Structure 1
Amino acid sequence: MKLIQQSKLFFKEGKSDKVYEIDICELSPNEFLVNFRYGRRGAVLKEGTKTPVALSKEKADLLFADLENEKRKKGYQTETEVFMELPSLEAVDPSTVNGAILQRLQDAVVGKNSFKTEWKTSRVIWKAGVLDVKEAIPFIIKLATRGDEMQTYCSLWALIKLKADLAEPLFNSIANNIKQKSHITNLAWEGLLSVCSEEEKLKKVEILLEKLPAEVRFAIETNDLNLLGNYFSQSTIDKDVEYFTNLYVLAKVYTQLLPILNNTLKSWEFRPPYFRNIRAIYKLAQSRNDEKTLAILSYRFEKQKAMFKRTVSLDSTSKRYLTVIDESISVGSELKRKDSKLAFSTFTKNYFQKNAVEHFKNAGAFNNDGSYLRLAVNTLLQYTESDYSIAEEKPLSDYGRYDYDSKRYSFLLIKYPECAESLLLSTILFGNDPNRKLQPNLKFITSSRSVTSNNYYYRPNQAEEVPIVAVQPDSVTANSSMIDTAKSIFKSLFGKKNLDADLVPQNEYQPEPIVQHKKVELTRFELYPELWDARPEAYVQLLMQAQMNIIHLFAYNRIKEHPKYEEIAQQFDQHGILQLLNSIFELPNQFGFEVLKKRETEFVQISQFVAEVNGSNSASARDWAQCLVNDNPVFYFNDIDFVLSFIFNTRSESNLWINESLEKHTFSEEKIQAVLGKAITEMLHFENTIENNLKAKTAIVRLNSIAESQMEKISWTIVQQLISSALDANKILAGKILLIKAKNVDPTDIPVSLTEIFLNNDLAEVRQNGIELLNQYPDGFLAKNLDFICNLIDVYYDDVAEKVFAVIKKLLIHNTEIGNKLIPYFAYALMRKEKFEGAHVRISQFLLNDLKPYWNSGLFPKDITKLLHAQYRITHLAGYEILKGFNNPGSFSLRQIISFGSHEILAIRQWCWNYFKGNLERIHDEKDQSLYLLDAKWEDTRAFAFNFFRTEFKEDDWDPDILIGIVDSIRPDVESFGKEMITKYFDSNYALDYLTKLSQHPSINVQAFVSNYLSIYVKENPDLLQELTFYFRSVLTRVNRGRVAKDRVFSFLYNESLKNLETAIWVVTILDDVSAQTTVQDKASCIDILTRIKKLYPNVDMHLMIKN
């Protein structure tokens, strides 16, 4: 046996000191045992087993977990939990926060309460983790498994936060307990990977890998991130996402998984089966301080619409109709199901939004390793301009409440600030704004006021303010009044509703908010301004990467006011400045240009940088670059890389200026050649994208203006590379170069393979260049390169096909021999699968109309036969037309002609029939071949053959071998025809040949036919009887078939058995075997014959025993 898993649990209380050990042992790959040992610690332990019979691994794991949980409920714990020495609290002041926490934890361990108030142990443990009270680690380890699931969960979370290496045994025990809830085991695995050694970590990773699908495991082990991304996408489509939480746990070790995993999380819907994993990953990300994942999920919690609106009550007996699933359902019961159809209610959405804000505030209050700033920046980077909402004032309801005293309608107007619905953004950027008030619906307002109107529907120009009801935003009382007013309006309009919904699910633990004790002067609106100023690089990151103007405005203002602004500006390199200048937003452009101007003297001499600035999104920066070039064109245009950047610049605002600048400057021949060579080399490496095609087309126009004279010197090899490259624009350039070269060289020097590539190109402009080249080839040259022409007869493009056929017609006029060479190409093009719809029609028309004079001289019978038996009907029709016009049908072999008789087209079958009727002499001479017509697939052809051979073939044309061969056909009608011919032309001289050969035929009809001749040609012939043994057995062993033949055979065998003892013995051997396996009727016949034989020959040995 091999030990697979072991758990050692201890119990120590008073004088009791016990140990309980549980093992999983492997007997074979599919057989496992669960054994246990127990007794007093230090004494010899008693042994036992829970598995009298070996179990599978899955069942053994469940049994192991059940036993371990049973003992833990009785107070058993791991060695670390039981024997860990608790620290003394004598020197701890219980009046301090940390002291109170430690004292409460000690009270929980010993089972007492030293305080007037009572706290849940799980709450104290959570608080210890939040406040980083490392002295609490021993207490938490002891308490981890002594309470409910919440206490275990909080203990694991706190131990992770406290980086408790001593908790490794606890983490390991809970992580491997398959009976634990998934949210607890997830946290245990997270803690285990945080504290275990590198060697142990590899073993734990192997266990986690085993839980993943084989494809994911393979991709991780081979580090194939593309395969992994594709599999994630397919898993999302298939809703096979249960493994993602384990995958996120593994990402703690395999950090390269996180970007792909986060991209997948962005695509998931917040509904089953995805949401369970989203929630689990979010909780793990909080414990891990994984800011990027937290930012993605926190943003999505805010922006994702709730799946359904949950009421306060979750009565499992009542049902509600939910449009999201188009079903009436008990929400309470459904949410408890493991495969629930529901998730992410309005309650859950609000809870996670509040939880995210709380996590932000806690991170800022403690500022552990700058985690708040990383979290804030990553969260702000999730927002886009589409999330922006303007500051506005609008009524709480468009319908007013009627006041009978004033006889007017009253409306409550709420003033919303910018981004009022973006909770996280507003918290980060305006968390210290006293005017912004967060409402229960998690929207921000700044103030409210009441107005009245004569109209029941709100119209701004008809409303009058009621000054007395005006509410000051900084007044808590007034703010409450405003909310109460809003509630009363809602109640009057829609009836009483629960407007103060409990937004936190009851089964979730909500820690107390952490109050920041450090006093900060609130002169700025963002949360924790001192943290932002401590790391000004965060402002730079927001300016470079954020996708929202309000975020840029915040970052721009703060970095400009920062005391180290000048120092920060000096740290920018060229890449950083260009990234700012190329932003699609105005403020990053402006900041980038300001930094550029501050360091102008450093950059004016870097020509490549100046060229890239000219292609940027900043108009000011482009003007700056253009002024530099205008002032010193010689310096900049002498740099080849600068010229290349100019050539590939696609900025429309700079297009005219660049073209004029290039045309004004005089380049040397060597410089032009170098620019042209480098430009082509760069374009050959371009991928075929819209952006790259635009760059390449722009460059082609500019190269054409400055380097046209040098294009003819480009080699054919480069032209072929251009036309064969993936980039469409390169093919256009290849065409231009080819036409330029063609003006100065003999057309026959242009490779036909290159022209063919042009003619097969998708771009009409490129094909037109190929057609122009084709026009330049002389007829004699084309006649010598017929393969080139023939490769184009089934080209897809109409313009090329029209030109190719025109060239062929012209060649046929001057050289008729070319037609004989061309026609096989057309024939075989019809036999191939057409490259596009309509190709065969075009080729068939040309073959039938323009190449008709060459049918007899250019095609052979095998070519026509292949046309008629090709896969396509249009090919069959073309082949038939050629067959009708073929002058020498006798050159076809008879087998070829007979194959036409099995064709699906009637006209072709009729051609075959007519050939038989018109060529009787050949049919008689080759009768062995001509008889194959009898086996044609079509019934009408066989009917013609039967009639033809009945009337045209005489007795001398038939011989036994031919007739027997006809009878041997698998077709019943052909078999019948063969029997008819044997009967008609039967020759007694060949009777024995017919009998011996036809007797071996399996057909019932043929066997019956043979039985006609038994009494005439077989009687009194023992040798022949022996040869026909197979025939007799075959006839007699048929079940319920061939009755006529059976009766004849029984009669014949009885009569023959009477003639001599030798024949009787032979008959007995057959009937003995037949009687054991035939039907009742046949068995009776066998017994009757055997009885008679026994009476005649008493000494004959047989299976039948006759008693009387």
Structure 2
Amino acid sequence: MIENVLWQIPFESPYFRSIRAIYKLARFRDDAQILGMLAFLFEKKASAFNRTASLDKESWNQDQYFYQFGGYVNVRKELSNNESRLAFSNFTKLYFQKNSFYYLKDLGKQNKAKEYIRFAVNALIQYSDADYTSANRRPLSTYGTYDWQSSRYHYTVVDFPECYQSLLLTSILFGNDTTRKMDSKLQFYLKKEEFWSSDYYYQENKVTKVDSGTNKSSVSSEKNQQQGALDNIISTFKNIFGSNKEKQTVTQPIQENFVIGAESNFSRPELYPEFWDAMPEAYIQLLMQGKMDLVMKFAYENLSVHANYKDLLQRIEPEMMILLLNKSSKYPQNLGFDALEKRETELRQNESFVALVLVSENEKARNWAKMNIENNTHYFLSSTDFLTILMMNSRRESNEFINNLLQKASLSEDRQKAVLGKVIIQLIALESNEENDKIADAATKKLKITASSNFSEISWDIIAQLLTSPLNNNRFLASEILLSKSRKYPVTDIPLSIIELLLSNENESIRENGISLLKQYPKEEIGNHWLQLLQLLSSSHKDVVENILSLNDQFESQSEIQELTTGRLFDVLMIEQKFENSHQLFRDYLGKMVEKSIDKIPVKWIIRLIFANSVKKSAFRFRTA
């Protein structure tokens, strides 16, 4: 619960006071889950304001202008106020990033491998591909700095590694990488080079590299080349917090002097690889819960070469395999398929498992499932659970195979009913979203292949639930069931109000089924409910209106019905068009009706029509003798 709140709560006053308290309590309890999430949020959340004023009592620069307050504010006094309107400045953001980094570093230094891995995992699983930045090379500014002595413009060109703006991720995954350095903006870079040009604007093909002897950035890089990223981060934090310190909220002591111990493995870029290898289950957790491809790549590449990899594969349960196979990244999919191959002998006849593999994201796994099904088709088609899973999936890559399989199936009536019942119950339980609507559409098509002959036996209660479902494809299934019922039972068992509901739907296929049902209704019943049906002339769907007008032709000799229709046509002509050229359609039809009975139309109807706003711009005349 608290995790969901932390994702939603704004990092600003008055909420940030509570966030500080939660962070402090999490540090006290070593709550890796909360600490990992907050460490990520401190890094990615923008500061609420940039503090330019000093917090020193003796400073002359204690006031800062705030647009939202409409004037200057003494920042030091405001921050000390219990009801402060300010919180989470750029310095506070930096402080908490530093605190999270030192927490990670101290866990490693104190050889707390379990605590280190728990915090690292909970931090890494927060990152998604939206946080990923690719490696790139670019100038810090596209506008050069003019050097009066040489009469040239100078540019600093920087090589940035991937995820160069992610402090915690880089610390964990690349803390031993001696090529990565961090600047005062907490951004990582590989090297900086100086270039000069006679042009003010940077153009890569028009710049010349400054000689290495005068390139200060290159010299500095060489001095730091033997430092790991971790040491460089510590050095940068010392420089940033050498002055302008924020008042600390977490009182635990922080030791500044730290060098990676000799026991660390520098052959791998991540910090403390020995910690990771001692707990390879952490790799599996990253593959299960990770959202960034880079994180999952790190996990799979280290896990797949681990000495106990085969034993770990044996411990992965089928449910976990399915989750891995359905991840969007290839790395968890690879783990899922490796585990599947390891245990395929015991799983190849598990009907539900094979069905789930068939509709998974991984192509190799789907092919494995297809091969097993083709080798033992009768066995799998005898399973109701297997058929239900296939029907309740919209996997495009497997649809053709599944449809061909279902067409070959010869299910008994009882089996059809069982499958039909299970699928419909699952359809009714689906929430409204685009993916579920696709599932409902696919399930309806598959049910029509295997169980359409039993549609007519579905209860009215189930039909009502399908009709009121938020998913439009569930309503379409309801309309198909109603059509099936009309072929076996009297169509009058279906209330006209339900048919009207179908006719008002935005989906053309549902309206077509509604029109088919209405056409089956006996003429006498149509006549008895004609006034109710005439309300459909104000429909926004042309096909519905045309069908009502067509039904009216059946009652040409019944003057009472014709009078009701004429009056309704005058009414709809006096309102705005519900679809393009609807007024023209009504005028043409009304014109044909009144040719034989113009004298029976009340004059007041014609006068109202002439002065109606909806037809002022359109000529409307009756031919009179």
Do both share a fold (TM > 0.5)? yes
From the superposition, tell whether residues 594 and 325 of structure 1 become closer, same or farther in structure 2 (CA, over 3 Å).
farther
Distance in 1, Cα, partners of 2:557 & 2:128 = 70
Q: Does the alignment pair 1:361 with 2:105?
A: yes
Distance in 1, Cα, partners of 2:461 & 2:248 = 73
1:733-757 C-alpha deviation (Å, 9 max, x unpaired): 2222332343454434545565455
From the superposition, tell whether residues 725 and 444 of structure 1 become closer, same or farther in structure 2 (CA, over 3 Å).
closer
**Map of 2:597 onto structure 1:** none
**Map of 1:512 onto structure 2:** 255
**Map of 2:34 onto structure 1:** 293
Q: Does the alignment pair 1:591 with 2:335?
A: yes
Which residue identity lines up with residue 539 of structure 2 in the other structure? Y
Q: Does the alignment pair 1:277 with 2:18?
A: yes
Q: How far does residue 580 in structure 1 lie from its aligned partner after superposition?
A: 0.8
**Map of 1:467 onto structure 2:** 212
Contact 1:435 1:474 in 2 (8 A): no
Q: Does the alignment pair 1:529 with 2:258?
A: no
Q: Does the alignment pair 1:266 with 2:11?
A: no
Distance in 2, Cα, partners of 1:585 & 1:693 = 24
**Map of 1:388 onto structure 2:** 132
Q: How far does residue 313 in structure 1 lie from its aligned partner after superposition?
A: 3.1
1:897-944 C-alpha deviation (Å, 9 max, x unpaired): xxxxxxxxxxxxxxxxxxxxxxxxxxxxxxxxxxxxxxxxxxxxxxxx
Contact 1:316 1:332 in 2 (8 A): no
Paired positions, count: 560
The alignment partner of 2:307 has SS state of: coil
Q: How far does residue 764 in structure 1 lie from its aligned partner after superposition?
A: 4.4
**Map of 1:446 onto structure 2:** 190
Match of residue 443, structure 2, among 690, 695, 699: 699
Q: How far does residue 721 in structure 1 lie from its aligned partner after superposition?
A: 4.5
Q: How far does residue 386 in structure 1 lie from its aligned partner after superposition?
A: 1.7
**Map of 1:651 onto structure 2:** 395
Higher relative contact order (CA 8 A, sep 6+): 2
Match of residue 539, structure 2, among 797, 807, 818: 797
Contact 1:448 1:471 in 2 (8 A): no
Contact 2:324 2:332 in 1 (8 A): yes
After TM superposition, the structure 1 = structure 2 runs for residues 99-248 of structure 1, keeping only pairs within 5 Å, are none
Which residue identity lines up with residue 337 of structure 2 in the other structure? F
The alignment partner of 1:441 has SS state of: coil
Contact 2:180 2:188 in 1 (8 A): yes
From the superposition, tell whether residues 325 and 564 of structure 1 become closer, same or farther in structure 2 (CA, over 3 Å).
farther
Which residue identity lines up with residue 702 of structure 1 in the other structure? K
Match of residue 604, structure 1, among 345, 348, 366: 348
Distance in 2, Cα, partners of 1:371 & 1:311 = 38
Contact 1:312 1:501 in 2 (8 A): no
The alignment partner of 2:179 has SS state of: coil
After TM superposition, the structure 1 = structure 2 runs for residues 1013-1052 of structure 1, keeping only pairs within 5 Å, are none
Which residue identity lines up with residue 451 of structure 1 in the other structure? F
1:299-358 C-alpha deviation (Å, 9 max, x unpaired): 121112223333373446664444566644443444344443332222222111111111
| Aligned-residue CA RMSD (Å) | 4.0
After TM superposition, the structure 1 = structure 2 runs for residues 664-679 of structure 1, keeping only pairs within 5 Å, are 664-679=408-423
Contact 1:417 1:446 in 2 (8 A): yes
From the superposition, tell whether residues 684 and 556 of structure 1 become closer, same or farther in structure 2 (CA, over 3 Å).
same
Q: Which runs of 5+ in 2 are unaligned?
A: 228-238, 572-577, 594-603, 609-625
Q: How far does residue 438 in structure 1 lie from its aligned partner after superposition?
A: 3.0
Q: How far does residue 621 in structure 1 lie from its aligned partner after superposition?
A: 1.4
Q: Does the alignment pair 1:335 with 2:76?
A: no
After TM superposition, the structure 1 = structure 2 runs for residues 805-816 of structure 1, keeping only pairs within 5 Å, are 813-814=557-558, 816=560
Contact 1:673 1:710 in 2 (8 A): yes
After TM superposition, the structure 1 = structure 2 runs for residues 927-1006 of structure 1, keeping only pairs within 5 Å, are none
Which residue identity lines up with residue 471 of structure 1 in the other structure? V
1:618-674 C-alpha deviation (Å, 9 max, x unpaired): 122122222222333222222222222222221112222322333344445554444
Distance in 1, Cα, partners of 2:459 & 2:40 = 57
The alignment partner of 2:49 has SS state of: coil
Which residue identity lines up with residue 219 of structure 2 in the other structure? V
Q: Does the alignment pair 1:730 with 2:474?
A: yes
Contact 1:397 1:412 in 2 (8 A): yes
Q: How far does residue 565 in structure 1 lie from its aligned partner after superposition?
A: 0.9
Q: Does the alignment pair 1:547 with 2:291?
A: yes
Distance in 2, Cα, partners of 1:399 & 1:755 = 69
Distance in 1, Cα, partners of 2:152 & 2:540 = 77
Q: How far does residue 429 in structure 1 lie from its aligned partner after superposition?
A: 1.3
Contact 1:447 1:471 in 2 (8 A): no
Contact 1:615 1:649 in 2 (8 A): yes
Which residue identity lines up with residue 166 of structure 2 in the other structure? S
From the superposition, tell whether residues 274 and 677 of structure 1 become closer, same or farther in structure 2 (CA, over 3 Å).
closer
Which residue identity lines up with residue 511 of structure 1 in the other structure? I
Q: Does the alignment pair 1:778 with 2:526?
A: no
From the superposition, tell whether residues 478 and 629 of structure 1 become closer, same or farther in structure 2 (CA, over 3 Å).
closer
The alignment partner of 1:435 has SS state of: coil
**Map of 2:160 onto structure 1:** 416
Which residue identity lines up with residue 101 of structure 2 in the other structure? V
Q: How far does residue 567 in structure 1 lie from its aligned partner after superposition?
A: 1.0
Which residue identity lines up with residue 310 of structure 1 in the other structure? R
Q: How far does residue 608 in structure 1 lie from its aligned partner after superposition?
A: 1.6
Contact 2:47 2:90 in 1 (8 A): yes
The alignment partner of 1:412 has SS state of: strand
Contact 1:794 1:801 in 2 (8 A): no
From the superposition, tell whether residues 360 and 804 of structure 1 become closer, same or farther in structure 2 (CA, over 3 Å).
same
Which residue identity lines up with residue 11 of structure 2 in the other structure? F
From the superposition, tell whether residues 730 and 318 of structure 1 become closer, same or farther in structure 2 (CA, over 3 Å).
closer
**Map of 2:486 onto structure 1:** 742
Contact 2:32 2:119 in 1 (8 A): yes
The alignment partner of 2:380 has SS state of: helix
Contact 1:308 1:324 in 2 (8 A): no
Which residue identity lines up with residue 678 of structure 1 in the other structure? K
From the superposition, tell whether residues 306 and 718 of structure 1 become closer, same or farther in structure 2 (CA, over 3 Å).
closer
Match of residue 431, structure 1, among 175, 179, 183: 175
Contact 1:347 1:502 in 2 (8 A): no
Distance in 1, Cα, partners of 2:91 & 2:459 = 71
Q: Which runs of 5+ in 1 are unaligned?
A: 1-259, 480-497, 830-836, 851-876, 882-1108
Distance in 2, Cα, partners of 1:304 & 1:721 = 44
Distance in 1, Cα, partners of 2:136 & 2:24 = 36
Contact 2:352 2:386 in 1 (8 A): yes
Contact 1:400 1:458 in 2 (8 A): yes
**Map of 1:129 onto structure 2:** none
Distance in 2, Cα, partners of 1:307 & 1:399 = 29
Contact 2:53 2:75 in 1 (8 A): no
The alignment partner of 1:584 has SS state of: coil
**Map of 1:305 onto structure 2:** 46
Contact 2:113 2:275 in 1 (8 A): no
Contact 1:688 1:728 in 2 (8 A): no
Contact 2:503 2:514 in 1 (8 A): yes
Q: How far does residue 572 in structure 1 lie from its aligned partner after superposition?
A: 0.7
Q: Does the alignment pair 1:758 with 2:502?
A: yes
Distance in 2, Cα, partners of 1:317 & 1:504 = 15
From the superposition, tell whether residues 323 and 455 of structure 1 become closer, same or farther in structure 2 (CA, over 3 Å).
farther
The alignment partner of 2:304 has SS state of: helix
Which residue identity lines up with residue 771 of structure 1 in the other structure? I
The alignment partner of 1:308 has SS state of: coil
Distance in 2, Cα, partners of 1:398 & 1:807 = 73
Distance in 2, Cα, partners of 1:522 & 1:719 = 66
